Amino acid sequence: MNYLAHVYLSGTNDLIKVGNFMADSVKGNQYLNYEKELQHGILLHRHIDSYTDAHPIYRQSKHRLHEKYGHYSGVIMDILYDHFLAKNWEKYSSISLPEFAINFYQILENNLDLLQEKTKKIVPYLVTQNWFESYASITGIEKILFQMDYKTHHRVAMQEAVVELKYYYQEFENEFTLFFEELMLSCEVKRAEF
């Protein structure tokens, strides 16, 4: 899952959301250097990643991309699944996506001092290009995939995955819906352990 799903699955605690958002930059036991709620966010992020990577439905979705995009098929699939979350947002939240996005961007601005430099560099792009709302459209997904491709020095032309997205759209959406219901339940259980 990508940024939108990670933040959404964090529940209502702002610091868990921040910890989840910055988790990719925190390696190994470095998470122990942070306060408890940030640790919980980092651990929740890791739970989401491992649960997602091992899930047969997600693997089925990702398999459609593997031949063309190889190692990057997981990165692409995470973004495509965020598309279906954003597109169907009203099914999952009583707060509108624009309001959710603005609220989280403000949470990040208020907690910039907690983020590592690598993560801080992402924040201006996330906010000015409004990634959370961009996920809802295929055009927005294409732009985000292009940015990811730029970041990886154009190894696999990730933005071309919109072709597969359009071709397998119904299959991807059905798989996302089934998978995400299970992921939400798993995250509820995980958050209750904190």
Measure the CA–CA gap between 64 and 51, rounded to whole angstroms: 19
List phi, psi (to 5°) of 123: -55, -50
pLDDT at 153: 81
Per the rule left: phi > 0, alpha: psi between -120 and 50, beta: everything else, 93 is beta
pLDDT at 152: 82
pLDDT at 151: 80
Which pTM does this prediction carry? 0.96
Structure token digits, residue 131: 């990634």
- 161 and 76 Cβ atoms separated by less than 8 Å: yes
pLDDT at 172: 98
Per the rule left: phi > 0, alpha: psi between -120 and 50, beta: everything else, 28 is left
Q: What is the pLDDT along the chain (194 residues), one digit of tens a residue?
A: 899 999 999 999 999 999 999 999 999 999 999 999 999 999 999 999 999 999 999 999 999 999 999 999 999 999 999 999 999 999 999 999 999 999 999 999 999 999 999 899 999 999 999 999 999 999 999 999 998 888 888 789 999 999 999 999 999 999 999 999 999 999 999 999 99
Measure the CA–CA gap between 40 and 18, rounded to whole angstroms: 10
